[in-house]
């Protein structure tokens, strides 16, 4: 190779911060508008009958109806695909909808998949109960040993995928991604990573072997708690034909006039199928306004995440030193069993959502969330504002106590999502609540 | 964990500079699609229709359909039967069949003024590509001109695909 990379006009890899602002968002071709316009619009005029036919047949690229594609949502989709280092993305109305699109594209009735048991409580319920009604079984495993995934894939050879949260909610747990990806690939199935709590600024699962990334964009990506949304992103590197396990990708699809998605669209075939079948037929599309707000949020992702993790580290260190606190589960602390994995996978910091335990148990947890004034007591994470919740009485209350403890959400546990306010103000607010 | 995986057997992915691919798509006007199918759900039929819509002159080559039309274009049995020059040969055949088509294109290079051989997604023959390059032809493998056109000229982003394009210039229409 010549040394073109050093010439100003040679090939160049743009940095994360540049891509977070520019990827997918060239100026508007018609008007020159620099900010991505909000296309608050449902449907698009065809050039002629032939153009309409081409669009419906997926023979050309373009817009038909905003349930499938919308120019504002498309900008966010391309941006997220770019930031994750993936090939393509499809957005959804929420993170849960993104998970549904993923599994509807992956599974047939009677299929199963393997999932980490350390997930957002809503995902455990979605996988363990609601998916069952569609004929999809989920087998949960302890994700702290990659061998558990290998064993589960041996016990369930019909499994079609492995799902985990690399930086898990709510427990401050980090999964050793690299060996789990190897285990999944040996079984010929994709590794699906929910990267919501880390965001691509802190962790890019594709670089460690993941094949599909899902997000609740509602959290750090939009960042200001003003828009619901989700996304499915594919790496473009998974071979859907090799194992013979994915007929839905590799054989003519009756839901799309006999089109074979992998053959026709290659490395973005999964995303095309998720959009053209699952999103089309179930309809959980992202609203253009929400896409606009999320696009705006992603522009400051790096700046915000740096402050989120700085503040989280300070608050975690304060809590660890407080006598009312039994333990703090934040991988940024040296005391965390996940500290080394954090340094490997999340060198910029292990996010800002973590849990701590109160010596006073369930009652102390309730009292803490009711006493704070600056922290908002609500069920969300990834806001500019600092948030607090007692999972056992809220997000994880539909689980049994054993399931709560297994998910890192036992009766004594308080979960924090540290915002980007002044760190000392957050510490003062918590200190007041703990001393009350 | 150390057992070979299916991915290990594959050759490393091909990397082409965007400027090379965009230059090809801007320069060529006549494309012969070897393996063009009259069946409208086949990828070759998709690509042919798309490229016609972008203003290319597209000539289907398919011995099983010779003498009949696909999208109003006459189909020929083989490259040598195509009247007039061919800027680019686009191959929609399995990798094992690609070498023979490439060798035929090399034979016809001067007669048909062929400049580019393009092998579709999943189609790759490194040895035949080396022969074509030695003969002065430009070779692209394991890509689709429809997808590359959409990616480089802005349409593919409409489907959420990462085009890799970063620019504050207003796109020209």
Rounded alpha-carbon distances, angstroms, from residue B45 to A54, A176, A259, B37: 11, 45, 12, 6
Fold of B16-159: Rossmann fold (3.40.50)
**Predicted confidence (pLDDT) at residue B4 exceeds the cutoff of 60:** no
Nearest CB to B17; choose among A11, A182, A265: A11
Give the pTM: 0.90
How confident is the model at residue A399, as a pLDDT?
79
How confident is the model at residue A9, as a pLDDT?
65
Residues of chain A with pLDDT > 90, as a percent, come to 83
Cβ contacts of B52 on chain A, cutoff 8 Å:
none
Average pLDDT estimate for B24-37: 96
* Banded pLDDT at A80 (limits 50, 70, 90): very high
* Banded pLDDT at A407 (limits 50, 70, 90): confident
The alpha carbon of residue B168 is apart from the nearest alpha carbon of chain A, in Å, by 6
**Contact at CB, B161 and A86, closer than 8 angstroms:** no
How confident is the model at residue B7, as a pLDDT?
44
The alpha carbon of residue A215 is apart from the nearest alpha carbon of chain B, in Å, by 15
Q: What is the pLDDT of residues B57-67, one digit of tens each?
A: 999 999 999 99
Q: What is the pLDDT of residues B119-138, one digit of tens each?
A: 998 899 999 999 999 999 99
How confident is the model at residue A10, as a pLDDT?
63
Cβ contacts of A275 on chain B, cutoff 8 Å:
159-160
The alpha carbon of residue B1 is apart from the nearest alpha carbon of chain A, in Å, by 6
**Predicted confidence (pLDDT) at residue B173 exceeds the cutoff of 70:** no
The alpha carbon of residue B100 is apart from the nearest alpha carbon of chain A, in Å, by 22
Cβ contacts of A22 on chain B, cutoff 8 Å:
166-168
Residue of A nearest to B147 (CA): A265
Q: What is the pLDDT of residues B138-161, one digit of tens each?
A: 999 999 999 899 888 888 888 899
How confident is the model at residue A59, as a pLDDT?
81
Interface test with B, best of A264, A269, A285, A294 (most B CBs within 10 A): A264
Nearest CB to B53; choose among A30, A60, A77: A60
Which residues of B lie inside 8 Å of A (Cβ-Cβ)? 1, 3, 5-7, 10, 17, 40-41, 43, 46, 49-50, 53, 121-122, 144, 147, 150, 154-173
Q: How far is the C-alpha of A371 from the C-alpha of A375, rounded, in Å? A: 9
Cβ contacts of B150 on chain A, cutoff 8 Å:
61
Q: What is the pLDDT of residues A305-355, one digit of tens each?
A: 999 999 999 999 999 999 999 999 999 999 999 999 999 999 999 999 999
The rounded mean pLDDT for chain B is 90
**Contact at CB, B157 and A78, closer than 8 angstroms:** yes
Q: Where are the domains of chain B?
A: 16-159
Q: Which residues pair with A325 in a beta bridge?
A: A358
Prior bond of A170 cis (ω within 30°): yes
Q: Which tokens is A4 given?
A: 């073109």
Interface test with A, best of B140, B152, B159, B171 (most A CBs within 10 A): B159
Q: What is the pLDDT of residues A173-195, one digit of tens each?
A: 999 999 999 999 999 999 999 99
**Contact at CB, B147 and A265, closer than 8 angstroms:** yes
Nearest CB to A82; choose among B53, B162, B173: B162
* Banded pLDDT at A12 (limits 50, 70, 90): confident
Nearest CB to B162; choose among A18, A32, A86: A86
Collapsing DSSP to helix, strand or coil, B60 comes out as strand
**Predicted confidence (pLDDT) at residue B98 exceeds the cutoff of 50:** yes
How confident is the model at residue A351, as a pLDDT?
97
Picking from A358, A419, A336, A398, the residue whose alpha carbon sits closest to that of residue A168 is A336
Cβ contacts of A240 on chain B, cutoff 8 Å:
none
Q: What is the pLDDT of residues A351-376, one digit of tens each?
A: 999 999 999 999 999 999 999 999 99
How confident is the model at residue A5, as a pLDDT?
52
**Predicted confidence (pLDDT) at residue B5 exceeds the cutoff of 50:** no
**Predicted confidence (pLDDT) at residue A299 exceeds the cutoff of 50:** yes
Average pLDDT estimate for B30-59: 93
Q: How far is the C-alpha of A68 from the C-alpha of A53, rounded, in Å? A: 16
Interface test with A, best of B142, B156, B162 (most A CBs within 10 A): B162
* Banded pLDDT at A60 (limits 50, 70, 90): confident
How confident is the model at residue A196, as a pLDDT?
98
How confident is the model at residue A187, as a pLDDT?
97
Report the 3 state secondary structure along chain A: CCCHHHCCCCCCCCCHHHHHHHCCCCCCCCCCCCCCCCCCCCECCCCCHHHHHHHHCCCCCCCCECCCCCHHHHHHHHHHHHHHCCCEEEEECCHHHHHHHHHHHHCCCCCEEEEECCCCHHHHHHHHHHHHHHCCEEEEECCCCHHHHHHHHHHCCCEEEEEEECECCCCCCECCHHHHHHHHHHCCCCEEEECCCCHHHHCCHHHHCCCEEEEECCCCCCCCCCCCCEEEEECCCCCCCCCCCCHHHHCCEHHHCCECHHHHHHHHHHHHHHHHHHHHHHCCCCCHHHHHHHHHHHHCHHHHHHHHHHHHHHHHHHHHCCCCEEEEECCCCCCCCCHHHHHHHCCCCCCCEEEEEECCHHHHHHHHHHHCCCCEECCCCCCCCCEEECHHHCCCCCCCHHHHHHCCCCCCEEEEECCCCCHHHHHHHHHHHHHC
How confident is the model at residue B157, as a pLDDT?
85
**Predicted confidence (pLDDT) at residue A152 exceeds the cutoff of 50:** yes
The alpha carbon of residue B111 is apart from the nearest alpha carbon of chain A, in Å, by 33
**Contact at CB, B43 and A264, closer than 8 angstroms:** yes
Picking from A160, A164, A141, the residue whose alpha carbon sits closest to that of residue A151 is A141
* Banded pLDDT at A92 (limits 50, 70, 90): very high
Contact criterion met (CB below 8 Å) for A354 and A333: no
Nearest CB to B171; choose among A18, A26, A242: A26
Cβ contacts of A82 on chain B, cutoff 8 Å:
162, 164
Cβ contacts of A12 on chain B, cutoff 8 Å:
none
What ipTM score was computed for the predicted complex, to two decimals?
0.86
The alpha carbon of residue B171 is apart from the nearest alpha carbon of chain A, in Å, by 5
Domains of chain A: 16-297 (3.40.640.10), 302-435 (3.90.1150.10)
**Predicted confidence (pLDDT) at residue B3 exceeds the cutoff of 50:** no
* Banded pLDDT at A7 (limits 50, 70, 90): low
The rounded mean pLDDT for chain A is 94
DSSP B71-90: TTEE-BSSGGGS-S--SEEE
């Amino acid at each position: 190779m010549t040394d073109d990379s050093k010439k100003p006009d040679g090939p160049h890899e743009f940095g994360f911060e540049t891509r977070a602002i520019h990827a997918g968002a060239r100026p508007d071709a018609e008007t020159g508008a620099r900010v991505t316009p909000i296309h608050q619009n449902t449907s698009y005029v065809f050039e002629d009958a032939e153009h309409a036919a081409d669009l419906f047949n997926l023979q050309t690229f373009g817009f038909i109806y905003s349930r499938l594609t919308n120019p504002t949502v498309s900008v966010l989709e391309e941006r997220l695909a770019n930031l994750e280092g993936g090939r393509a993305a499809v957005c959804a109305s929420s993170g849960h909808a993104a998970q549904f699109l993923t599994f509807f594209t992956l599974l047939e009735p009677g299929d199963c998949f393997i999932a980490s048991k350390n997930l957002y409580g809503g995902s455990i319920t979605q996988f363990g109960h609601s998916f069952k009604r569609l004929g999809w079984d989920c087998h949960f495993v302890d994700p702290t040993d990659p061998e558990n995934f290998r064993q589960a894939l041996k016990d369930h050879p019909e499994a079609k995928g492995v799902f985990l949260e690399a930086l898990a909610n709510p427990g401050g747990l980090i999964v050793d991604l690299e060996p789990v990806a190897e285990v999944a690939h040996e079984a010929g199935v994709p590794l699906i990573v929910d990267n919501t709590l880390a965001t691509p600024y802190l962790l890019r699962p594709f670089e460690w072997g993941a094949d599909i990334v899902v997000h609740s964009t509602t959290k750090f990506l939009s960042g200001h708690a003003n828009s619901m949304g989700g996304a499915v992103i594919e790496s473009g590197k998974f071979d859907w034909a090799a194992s013979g396990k994915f007929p839905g990708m590799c054989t003519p699809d009756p839901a799309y006039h006999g089109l074979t998605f992998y053959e026709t669209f290659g490395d973005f075939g999964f995303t095309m199928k998720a959009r053209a079948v699952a999103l089309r037929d179930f309809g959980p599309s992202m609203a253009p306004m929400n896409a606009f707000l999320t696009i705006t949020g992603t522009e400051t992702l790096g700046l915000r995440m740096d402050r989120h993790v700085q503040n989280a580290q300070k608050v975690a260190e304060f809590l660890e030193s407080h006598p009312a606190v039994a333990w703090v589960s934040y991988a940024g602390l040296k005391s965390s069993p996940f500290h080394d994995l954090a340094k490997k996978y999340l060198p910029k910091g292990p996010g800002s959502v973590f849990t701590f335990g109160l010596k006073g148990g369930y009652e102390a947890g309730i009292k803490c969330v009711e006493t704070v004034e600056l922290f908002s007591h609500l069920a969300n994470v990834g806001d500019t504002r600092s948030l607090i919740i007692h999972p056992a009485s809220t997000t994880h209350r539909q689980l049994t106590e054993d399931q709560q403890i297994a998910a890192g959400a036992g009766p004594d546990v308080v979960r924090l999502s540290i915002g980007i306010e002044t760190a000392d103000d957050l510490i003062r607010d918590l200190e007041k609540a703990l001393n009350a | 964990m150390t057992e070979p995986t299916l991915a290990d057997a594959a050759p490393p992915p091909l990397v082409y500079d965007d400027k090379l691919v965009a230059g090809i798509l801007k320069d060529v006007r006549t494309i012969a699609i070897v393996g063009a199918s009259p069946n409208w759900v086949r990828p070759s039929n998709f690509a042919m229709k798309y490229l016609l819509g972008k203003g290319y002159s597209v000539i289907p080559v398919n011995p099983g359909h010779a003498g009949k039309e696909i999208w109003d274009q006459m189909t020929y049995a083989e490259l040598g039967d195509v009247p007039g020059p061919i800027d680019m040969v686009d191959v929609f055949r399995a990798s094992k069949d690609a070498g023979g088509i490439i060798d035929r294109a090399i034979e016809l290079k001067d007669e048909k003024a062929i400049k580019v051989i393009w092998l579709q997604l999943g189609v790759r023959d490194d040895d035949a590509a080396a022969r074509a390059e030695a003969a002065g032809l430009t070779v692209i493998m394991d890509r689709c001109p429809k997808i590359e056109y959409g990616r480089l000229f802005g349409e593919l982003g409409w489907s959420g695909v990462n085009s890799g394009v970063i620019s504050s210039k207003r796109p020209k229409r």
